[in-house]
Amino acid sequence: MEHLSRQYDADLEALRSRVLQMGGLVEAQIHAAVESFGTGNAEQMARVCDGDRRVNDYEVEIDDACAHVVARRQPAARDLRLIMAVSKIVTDIERAGDEAEKIARMARQIHARGGLQIPCAAEARQAGQLAVAMLRRVLDALARLDAAEAGRIIAEDASIDDAFRGIVRQLVTYMMEDPRTISTALDIVWIAKAIERIGDHAKNIAEQVIYIVHGTDVRHTVREASRYGHGEPDGAE
């Protein structure tokens, strides 16, 4: 029985480790996509687009591992919450990877037409850096099962939303003043929206961290989620 218990713990730890590896890959993809948007590095853009296949492979592999653990071990309580949450977390990580690929693709279009300079491109890169930092922090919170940090991340998602709205307002003004900027401005809107969506996916992961630790579903309840950022309520088993 002790051998089976050790193997079970090893299976759960391997599952969490693979999720963190997948998250690290996507974090690197997003960073490279945002960087290539600023530099116009076509090779870097291509690597991001090609790397999306590896992210998809991770998702399939981890989903399969979750199904096998449930079938073989019949987990309960916190272990079951971990597996249920992992299944949702990998979906959010994969979708964040899709957004990285979209940023690289839009950046390639912008630079292919000459990289027309629009001042709010700098703001978009800054928002991208915020999104990368947010994803890095939530992966760290997942590794440490830190519900308090997860609560703070949820509360901070609003800063990326605000950045997105500010970028769109500026781009609308530029398009009205100079119709020649329309194509590039629209591509930057798509980049900014992709960055905003990455923030949303990081927030979703943070909600799942709270669910793993406390058994509380804080989705769609910002006030409830924010409680965890100011000190953790009593935990669940």
pLDDT in tens, 43-93: 999 999 999 999 999 999 999 999 999 988 888 888 889 999 999 999 999
Residue 41 lies in a domain: yes
Residue 126 lies in a domain: yes
Residue 56 lies in a domain: yes
Residue 205 lies in a domain: yes
- Asked if 82 and 19 touch (Cβ cutoff 8 Å), the reply is no
Residue 28 lies in a domain: yes
Mean pLDDT of 197-219: 93
Lowest mean pLDDT among 49-58, 113-122, 139-148, 202-211: 113-122
Residue 208 lies in a domain: yes
Q: Please, what's the largest Cα pairwise distance for the chain?
A: 73
The count of structural domains within the chain is 1
Amino acid at 101: E
Minimal CA–CA distance to 158: which of 125, 202, 124? Answer: 202
For residue 124, the enclosing domain spans 2-230
Mean pLDDT of 125-131: 94
Q: Rounded to two decimals, what is the model's pTM?
A: 0.89
Residue 236 lies in a domain: no
pLDDT digit string, tens, across residues 140-176: 999 999 999 999 999 999 999 999 999 999 999 988 9
d(CA 87, CA 71): 14
The confidence score (pLDDT) of residue 4 equals 57
CATH of the domain at 166: 1.20.58.220
d(CA 29, CA 100): 6
Please say if the pLDDT value at position 232 is more than 60. no
Residue 95 lies in a domain: yes
